[in-house]
Amino acid sequence: TRQNPNGNRRGYECPEERDYYPYWHPTPWKDIVVFTSNTSRCDYYKENSQNVVGKGVCREADTNEQLIRVATPEDCEAENNTWTLEGSHGIEAPECLFAPWSRVNHLGNTMGGHNAVYNWTIPNDVHDRCVFRIRYNISTGDYDAWNINSTWNDRNGEKLGLPNGYLFKNNPDVNIGTPDDDNADNNIVVELAINTAQFGRTFQDRSHAFSIVPRPANVPAGAVVHNLNVRG
């Protein structure tokens, strides 16, 4: 992916799935909540979560191997392979809420110095081996990130109408003066300290392993069980 060009992989993560949400292939992750600064996209997030909609995958015709690189039925069939639709998780769409303000690099502290919180009702989905994942995305305002993809690569900025060498590449030389081939005094060239992998970034900030155990027999079905934790 753009922020993982050398293909490094940590643990069992799929960098492409980590970097894009909602993801277009099937995953085991069940979505709980999306916090966003742009709530106009909430319907999109909820409607495209695998909680409520199936996801397709391309499988190699002879081996049935999943071909991650193929993302659409058309591309799959063009290679004479089989596009298979896997079902949704069959649960409610994730909640989508406005993201609270947070002070930069202060581990989620909000107004008053308190942590941002979300009250999650743990589902009755008993299992010994569960993983809870929190990831956050930093979206750039330098370009229209939602509508630009790989077809814009290597365009030297012309398609985006960028002036004076403002190219989306690492450490570009930019002319902040008045470009003039005849008068060098009008040219003021500086180098911008830019790492394009940092324009938009997704972090898997925390992952926690836990178990969901059956409700004790002596606790009524309608009783509230509080899960108490401490800040580590």
Going residue by residue through the chain, which has 232 residues, state the pLDDT in tens, using 9 for 90 and above.
Answer: 556 667 677 776 777 787 788 999 999 999 999 999 899 999 999 999 999 999 999 999 899 998 988 989 999 999 999 999 999 999 999 999 999 888 776 666 888 778 888 889 888 899 999 999 888 877 777 777 777 766 766 555 555 655 555 666 788 888 777 766 666 677 788 888 877 777 777 776 678 889 999 999 999 988 988 888 776 6
Find tokens 């077809």 and name the residue: 151
Identify the pLDDT of residue 30. 95
Long-range contacts of the stretch 138-146 (C-beta < 8 A, 24+) = 138/200, 138/201, 138/202, 138/203, 139/200, 140/199, 140/200, 142/168, 142/199, 143/168, 143/199, 145/199, 145/200
Q: What's the pLDDT score for residue 169?
A: 75
pLDDT of residue 205: 66
Report pLDDT for 113. Answer: 77
For residues 58 and 47, give the distance between their C-alpha atoms in angstroms, rounded to a whole number: 22
pLDDT at 152: 67
CA 152 to chain centre: 20
- Read off the DSSP letter of residue 92: P
Q: Is the preceding omega at residue 22 within 30 degrees of 0, hence cis?
A: yes
| pTM more than 0.85 | no
Q: Are 25 and 57 in contact (CB under 8 A)?
A: yes
